[in-house]
Amino acid sequence: MQVKDKVVIVTGAGSGIGAAIAKHFAKHNAKVIVSDYNAEKARNTINEIKANQGEATLILADVTKYEDIENLISKTVSVYGRLDIMVNNAGVGPKNVVRTADYTLEDWHNVIAVNQTGVFYGMQLALKQMLLQGEGNIVNIASLAGLKASRNNISYSASKFAVVGMTKSAALEYATKNIRVNAICPGYTESPLLDKLLATHSEMDQRLKSVIPMKRYGYPDEIAEAVVWIASDTTKFITGQTITLDGGTSL
């Protein structure tokens, strides 16, 4: 895939899908900025990339803080002179999986802050830099929950539907500016987010697998491959799309 020497920021790259995305970009010879709010986890990703002769730089950031994303992008540009690809991956789920009437305000505000506002910050600030350059590529990590109803999960569903909408709006706005914006929508994927859900609701394991035609969860590497592909120069005529990787669940 054509991402060699591209400068790539991946948020939430300390674990799960984000770590897999960062490692896959490095595998394809991109220059990767590993960003996370957790320094220890981010360093683990960096160490693995470097152990495999990849190039990676650590810049810590909390995506809910605008100034952190400003710093993330300005430092990236100061080191590499540009930003080719922005992957807005950082995301969280609610602490409590309950119906809307019982939802906590804490869960609502926290999930929206990370999954929706954090993606907006990343998009807006990346776009400012990409407009200066005259080109760029943004990939937002949405979810199957942003394409279809998801019960007992209103903040997560709302945030991921928002990511899909923001992706399409920005893609339309910047299509003539040589800037592409797409979203990847994973279904149930092996990740810390899924592990947390199953740890508190173990009965959901078989229930979830029963609605997946392939009868298994996705693997982070499978999601990462799609992200690198959609961000590569081999897909220059694709923008505003949602690429769904869900083992057939949406069928």
> What's the pLDDT tens digit per position in 179-235?
999 999 999 898 777 777 777 767 778 888 888 999 999 999 999 999 999 999 999
Report long-range pairs for 92-101 (Cβ below 8 Å, ≥24 apart): 92/193, 93/153, 93/156, 93/193, 93/196, 93/197, 94/153, 94/155, 94/156, 97/152, 97/153, 97/197, 97/200, 97/201, 98/152, 99/151, 99/152, 100/154
Q: Which pLDDT score is estimated for 78?
A: 98
Q: Which pLDDT score is estimated for 210?
A: 85
Task: Evaluate whether the domain defined by 7-245 bears CATH number 3.30.565.10.
Answer: no
Would residue 121 show up in a list of annotated catalytic residues for this protein? no
Buried b / exposed e over 4-38, threshold 16 CB at 10 Å, is eebbbbbbbbbbbbbbbbbbbbbbbebbbbbbbbe
> What's the pLDDT tens digit per position in 22-42?
999 999 999 999 999 999 999
Q: Which residues contact 110 (CB under 8 A, 6 or more apart)?
A: 92, 94, 155
Interval 151-172 mean pLDDT = 97
pLDDT at 128 over 90: yes
The pLDDT > 70 percentage for the chain reads: 99
Domain residue limits, the chain: 7-245
Determine the Cα–Cα distance for residues 32 and 10; give it in Å rounded to an integer: 7
Per-chain mean pLDDT for the chain: 95
pLDDT at 142 over 90: yes
> 156, 174, 188, 217: which one is catalytic?
156
Q: Which of 188 and 51 is assigned the larger pLDDT?
A: 51
